Amino acid sequence: SAVISQKPSRDICQRGTSLTIQCQVDSQVTMMFWYRQQPGQSLTLIATANQGSEATYESGFVIDKFPISRPNLTFSTLTVSNMSPEDSSIYLCSVDLSNDIQYFGAGTRLSVL
C-alpha cells in the first residue's frame, strides 16, 4: 500500500485567486492522478501526471486552468487557477503502485466565494 499526504485538507478562497494542492507519496511511483469529486458525484479524472513529462489532461480540463507539476517520483501539485464558485469541489490525488489499485489522498475540500 501507499501513504499519501495531501494538503491543504480544506480551504476557502476568493473568486479570481489560485490555490495549489500538494500530494506527497511515501514511495516512488510512476503515475499520479488528479480527480475532482463534486458533492454527491463520482470521481472525474482531471489529468495523469508522469514524472519528467507534461501531464495528460482529460476532455474538459486544460493546462491553463489546472497546471500540474511533477518534479520527482514522490510529489505532485495541482493548481486551480482563476477560481470561480463552479470550482468548489473536492480534489483528490491518487497513485497506482503498478498493481492497478488506486490509493487516494484524503482530499482537499475547496470552497470558492
Partner 1 sequence: GENVEQHPSTLSVQEGDSAVIKCTYSDSASNYFPWYKQELGKRPQLIIDIRSNVGEKKDQRIAVTLNKTAKHFSLHITETQPEDSAVYFCAALGATGGSYIPTFGRGTSLIVHP
Residues making contact with partner 1 (CB under 8 A)? 31, 33, 41-43, 45, 48, 56, 92, 96, 100-102, 104-107
- Measured CA angle at 25 (ends 13, 68), to 5 deg: 50
Least separation in angstroms between residue 16's CB and partner 1 is 28
Q: Which helix (H) or strand (E) holds 98?
A: none
Least separation in angstroms between residue 10's CB and partner 1 is 11
CA 69 vs. chain centroid, Å, equals 10
Least separation in angstroms between residue 66's CB and partner 1 is 17
Residue 71 grid cell: 518534479
